[in-house]
Amino acid sequence: MPDCEVASMNDKARKETILSGMQPTGKLHLGNLEGALRNWVRLQDEYWMYCCIVDWHSLTEVYADTSELKESVFAMAVDFMAAGLDPEKCAIFVQSEVKEHAELHLIFSMLITVPTLTRLPTYREKKDDLSLDSYGFLGYPVLQAADICIYNAHKVPVGKDQEKHIWLAKDLAIRFNQTYRKVFVEPEPLFTPIPLILGSDNRKMSKSLNNHIPIDFTEKETEKRIKSYYTDPKKVRKGDPGTPEGCPIYLLHQLYTADAADKIAPPCRTGELGCVDCKKQATENLNVALRPIRDRRAELVKQPDYVWDVLATGRDRATQRAQSVMDKVRRAMKTDYRYKKR
Ligand code: SF4
């Protein structure tokens, strides 16, 4: 059982720890909700969950302008809770508030070579687009490994694109254990089916592409965004046969419309259903599904003190656990110096 327990985390069935992290890059959108948060909400009943808002990671790409960071951290905490993360069941906290992440990052950085990091696909793909090809960006998978290992997390829910980073965290845990003494659990990725959510331009939903549907959109804004969505280009008007597979609106129906395979796909194919009506139905069903989350969100925004208190409590719980692991690290490395007071 972890050293730090959230008050109601007394379910004996929960034996393993999970670390989940997300960068505070602004308000969450449908892709974040369906791709990660819904899964985390399910996992909080099965595991000891540490839900970390990884603000230091956000500096690896946007380091100069931090003027909106605090607001983004707050918005993310609100979105986490609105989506169903329960601070009674999991620790919700900000990475930079638990300094042990940085300490372990530094120690791990001695156990890995620069060529190993430069070979990682995420580094190679992004480095040319960065305003600064920084040491921090190169080392962010090492910080990620520290984020995971500082809680001795067994599992990390990730998409396939992050898989290599989890193996790197596992390698670092093994390397530390072999070099000094066994301290770390060897973390594993936890893959769960992630529904595909595309943005209005048929590309991956992303705030930076402005093709997204933020959770806090009003119902009217949602309607407007869905009206602008790409559909099958061969289906120009009602009556034209369409191909639902590959249409991002059909993907929304698959998530939010009961029996979409029977109610949407066949009439799309025959032409009986036009894209205008199809989008209208998708909008209605999406708005109904998001209504409870949006209502909770609106309530939480009115209680900023409560939200910051949740983050403070989460920080304390996370710190307790991180300090206990860090003590073991120092003892294993024989750096647990005990000076007499002068
Ligand atoms: S009818 Fe619906 S599923 Fe078919 S192409 Fe138009 S928007 Fe897409």
What residue segments make up the domains of the chain, in order of their start? Answer: 17-196+304-333, 219-298
pLDDT at 1: 45
Average pLDDT taken over every residue of the chain: 92
The topology (CATH level 3) of 17-196+304-333 is Rossmann fold (3.40.50)
Which of 255, 256, 263, 268 maximizes ligand 1 atoms within 8 Å of its Cβ, making it the mutation to test the pocket?
268
Name 18's bridge partners.
49, 155
Name 21's bridge partners.
52
Model pTM score: 0.90
Quick: pLDDT tens for 164-193: 889 999 999 999 999 999 999 999 999 877
Spatial separation of the C-alpha atoms in residues 242 and 270, rounded to whole Å: 7
pLDDT at 200: 95
pLDDT at 11: 55
Nearest Cα neighbor of 20 from 144, 164, 119, 129 is 144
3-state secondary structure of 117: helix
Crossing angle of helices 69-83/275-301, nearest 10°?
110
Read off the pLDDT band of 341 (50, 70, 90): low
Q: How far, in Å, is the centroid of ligand 1 from the Cα of 215?
A: 23
**Fold equal for 17-196+304-333 and 219-298:** no
pLDDT at 12: 53
DSSP string, 128-160: GG-SS--HHHHTHHHHHHHHHHTTT-SEEE--G
Q: How far, in Å, is the centroid of ligand 1 from the Cα of 221?
A: 20
pLDDT above 60 (res 8) = no
Nearest Cα neighbor of 89 from 41, 28, 132 is 41
Quick: pLDDT tens for 140-170: 999 999 999 999 999 999 888 788 889 999 9
Q: What are phi and psi of 23, to 5 degrees?
A: -80, 135
Cα 100 to Cα 140, 225, 331: the distances in Å are: 15, 42, 15
How many Cα atoms occupy the beta-carbon half-sphere of 92 within 13 Å?
A: 27
pLDDT at 249: 96
Residue with CA nearest ligand 1 atom 6: 275
pLDDT at 60: 85
Quick: pLDDT tens for 104-145: 999 999 999 999 999 998 888 888 887 788 999 999 999 999
CB atoms within 10 A of CB 28: 26
pLDDT above 60 (res 9) = no
Give CATH superfamily name and number for 219-298: Tyrosyl-Transfer RNA Synthetase (1.10.240.10)
User: What percentage of the chain has pLDDT greater than the value 90?
Assistant: 76
CB atoms within 10 A of CB 191: 13
